[in-house]
Structure 1
């Protein structure tokens, strides 16, 4: 095997490795996009749940206040 054959094999090996890396990058890019979308959905859901929790807390506190007022009247 001469120098040209060795260089050709090394070049082919390098090209194959680059192709693998490109495939990995493409796969990770898609996965990253999916994860970011999921994170945004979860963040929105969390915000909505926090709002609903605050509304429920306010309503319960109001009920407690009214119950205490009724109790004090008796």
Structure 2
């Protein structure tokens, strides 16, 4: 191989190494974001469950008021 081709290959390898580092960083950010979203989802599901229970309780009281 001549020097130009070797230099070009080195450049491409360096570019791949840089890209790999950037992709690793992005992957880590995405994993953190996913964890945050999963946590938020759990909280929202719990709030939804609590609201549903409150609504059911209100409906039962309203029905009891209708049928004394």
Q: Say whether the fold is shared (TM-score over 0.5).
A: yes
Structure 1 stretches of at least 4 aligned residues deviating more than 4 Å after TM superposition: none
TM-score by length of 1: 0.88
* Number of residue pairs matched by the alignment: 68
Query: Superposition RMSD on alpha carbons, in Å?
Result: 0.8
Unaligned runs of 5+ in 1: 1-5
Distance in 2, matches of 1:9 and 1:49, equals 59
TM-score by length of 2: 0.96
Unaligned runs of 5+ in 2: none
Q: 2:20 aligns with which of 19, 25, 29?
A: 25
Distance in 2, matches of 1:7 and 1:40, equals 50
